[in-house]
Amino acid sequence: MKGDYQDLVDEISALLGAPATLENRDFRLIAFGAHDSDDDLAMDPVRTRSILTRQSTADVRSWFEGFGIARATGPVRIPAAPDAGVFRGRICLPVRNRGIVQGYVWLLDQEPGKPGPGPAALDAAMEVAQRIGVLLAEEARAGADLSREFLAVLTAGPGWQQDMAVAALRAALGPGGDGLHAAVCVAPWPGEAPASVPGAAAVCVVPRGRGGEPGAAGGPGAAAPGAGPEPAGDPALAVLLRLRSTDALAPALAAAARLLPRAAEATGPGRKAAAAKDTGGKGAGGSVGVAGTAVARGMTAGVADPVRGLADLPAAWEQAVAAARAAAAQPRFGQVAQWSAIGPYRLLATLAADPVDDPAARTLLTPANRELARTAEVFLDCAGQAGRAAAALGIHRQTLYYRLSRVEQLTGLDLDEGEDRLLLHMALKASRLA
């Protein structure tokens, strides 16, 4: 497919006598024509970054979209803007299919003193752009059409059922099935899967599992093929993204982030109001307590480590789910968390989603003792260093000692004992995941 795009981009370059680049609608580079000009203005910062990093920044995207390229049906001329890093004007050819924009072909506008491409040449280039639009739409539909096979891999039980599901997905993906992929989880996800996700090999919506987690493959929450309807709960969106190399997770993280606004809009004002109530009006970035917690329960996304074998997808999905749960529990991870970066939540997020009910921590994890729970968590986060903990909490050290003695009385734990500290620390962190 990539070769087809390159051939079409080269065809446009030949028609218009200028090097062309093709980006999808999310401004990720797909193909670009050869560039042999000695004009320093031709390779301005925006064009150079697009080719070297294979994507444009959000500011660049917003600036270009301000010229109406997403709505245009014909060529759009965009003037130079040196302050924005655009030293030469652009001609944008919208790539559409059945009225939906699929991407953009970019060309540098005429050099000073030289005539630009005429109407006939631009019309011919737009016909090629339409052919590109057909290819991009077909690729997007192919990813959506694999939702059944992808879902089966994520929800099939272990053993022969999963082997058969993996074989079916591999056959459906064709040669692309042997490539490098990353699993992405966006939860909770209202409604159906999006029609297309750029760079995705497959997309599906995973029902909430019986164990309370969204589709934990192979675990107690896994949905067996042919099983009855899942219990009520928010489903998750699963995306299988193609990667070019093991260090190419940045596009996967960016793709996950782009899915969140769409999900957040679908939550509606009721969910946002509930989240604001949970956070005391501070929103997702507000400070958090532990018991009953003040973390906003909005949309979050998790990205797993890359995998090459499709048989590893269930494990990758579990990583993505764990990372999404960690992002919901811990605001410092942001809305999109990478599994390799969530630390102890790698283990904690695999726990059952039922509220923590350890007898030692049960009383501490009540609303009446929220301040004591927060004190204990900060103290343990600071590796038991009283000076650091008191400074982090903004209290006197003697106040800290008094609160810790109350924690010991309520829990029956000895904070001088390593295993007691470990138990309490796990209970406090796990309570965020409830």
Q: Are strands 76-78 and 90-97 parallel, antiparallel or unpaired?
A: antiparallel
Q: Are residues 184 and 273 in the same domain?
A: yes
- Determine, yes or no, domain membership for 106: yes
The DSSP bridge partners found for residue 298 are none
Residue 5 has φ and ψ, to the nearest 5°, of -60, -45
Burial (CB count within 10 angstroms: exposed 0-12, middle 13-18, buried 19+), residue 131: middle
Q: Are residues 164 and 311 in the same domain?
A: yes
- Determine, yes or no, domain membership for 58: yes
**pLDDT of 208 over the 90 cut:** no
Query: Rounded to whole angstroms, how far apart are CA atoms 376 and 323?
Result: 24
The DSSP bridge partners found for residue 186 are 237, 301
**pLDDT of 354 over the 60 cut:** no
Indicate the residue among 348, 377, 394 that finishes a domain: 348
**On the CB side of 193, how many CA atoms lie within 13 Å of its CA?**
26
Nearest to 93 by CA among 144, 53, 33, 39: 33
Question: Confidence class of residue 405 from pLDDT cuts 50, 70 and 90?
Answer: very high
Query: Rounded to whole angstroms, how far apart are CA atoms 97 and 25?
Result: 12
Query: Rounded to whole angstroms, how far apart are CA atoms 322 and 318?
Result: 6
Q: Are residues 168 and 224 in the same domain?
A: yes
Q: Which residues contact 15 (CB under 8 A, 6 or more apart)?
A: 117, 121, 124, 125, 128
Q: Which amino acid is at 352?
A: A
Query: Rounded to whole angstroms, how far apart are CA atoms 353 and 326?
Result: 12
**pLDDT of 124 over the 80 cut:** yes
Share of the chain above pLDDT 70, in %: 73
Question: Confidence class of residue 219 from pLDDT cuts 50, 70 and 90?
Answer: very low
Q: Are residues 76 and 152 in the same domain?
A: no
| pLDDT for position 269 | 34
Number of structural domains found in the chain: 3
Nearest to 40 by CA among 108, 94, 100: 108
Angle at 217 between CA 190 and CA 340, to 5 degrees: 85
**pLDDT of 247 over the 90 cut:** no
Query: Residues 309, 356: contact at Cβ < 8 Å?
Result: no
Q: What 8-state DSSP symbol labels residue 242? A: E
- Determine, yes or no, domain membership for 179: yes
CA distances from 376 to 113, 284, 390 (A): 72, 22, 11
Q: Are residues 234 and 297 in the same domain?
A: yes
Query: Rounded to whole angstroms, how far apart are CA atoms 387 and 394?
Result: 10
Q: Are residues 372 and 300 in the same domain?
A: no
- Determine, yes or no, domain membership for 279: yes
- Determine, yes or no, domain membership for 125: yes
Q: Which residues contact 324 (CB under 8 A, 6 or more apart)?
A: 185, 186, 187, 236, 300, 301, 302, 337
- Determine, yes or no, domain membership for 354: no
Range of the domain at 104: 2-138
Mean pLDDT, the chain, whole residue set:
76
Instruction: Give 249-269 pLDDT, tens digit per residue.
Output: 777 787 778 788 645 444 333
Q: Are residues 134 and 150 in the same domain?
A: no
Query: Rounded to whole angstroms, how far apart are CA atoms 373 and 366?
Result: 9
| pLDDT for position 284 | 30
Instruction: Give 41-61 pLDDT, tens digit per residue.
Output: 455 555 555 555 455 667 778
Q: Are residues 181 and 319 in the same domain?
A: yes
- Determine, yes or no, domain membership for 353: no
**pLDDT of 289 over the 50 cut:** no
Residue 223 has φ and ψ, to the nearest 5°, of -95, 120
Query: Rounded to whole angstroms, how far apart are CA atoms 338 and 351?
Result: 18
Q: What is the domain-level CATH number for residue 43? A: 3.30.450.40
Nearest to 283 by CA among 295, 266, 293: 295
Q: Are residues 251 and 370 in the same domain?
A: no
- E strand map for 297-392: 300-303, 336-338
Q: Are residues 79 and 225 in the same domain?
A: no
Task: Report the range of poorest mean pLDDT among 35-49, 143-157, 315-329, 393-407.
Answer: 35-49
Q: Which residues contact 114 (CB under 8 A, 6 or more apart)?
A: none
User: Which of the two residues, 234 and 381, has the higher pLDDT score?
Assistant: 381
Q: What is the domain-level CATH number for residue 363? A: 1.10.10.2840
| pLDDT for position 141 | 65
Indicate the residue among 348, 372, 393 that finishes a domain: 348
Burial (CB count within 10 angstroms: exposed 0-12, middle 13-18, buried 19+), residue 173: buried
Q: Are residues 182 and 260 in the same domain?
A: yes
- Determine, yes or no, domain membership for 324: yes
Q: Are residues 256 and 371 in the same domain?
A: no
Take residue 389 and report the two structure tokens written for it.
Answer: 């903990």
Angle at 309 between CA 304 and CA 313, to 5 degrees: 40
What sign results for the dihedral spanned by CA atoms 254, 257, 263, 268?
Answer: negative
Question: Confidence class of residue 183 from pLDDT cuts 50, 70 and 90?
Answer: very high
Indicate the residue among 108, 138, 168 that finishes a domain: 138
Query: Rounded to whole angstroms, how far apart are CA atoms 275 and 288?
Result: 12
End-to-end CA distance of the chain: 44
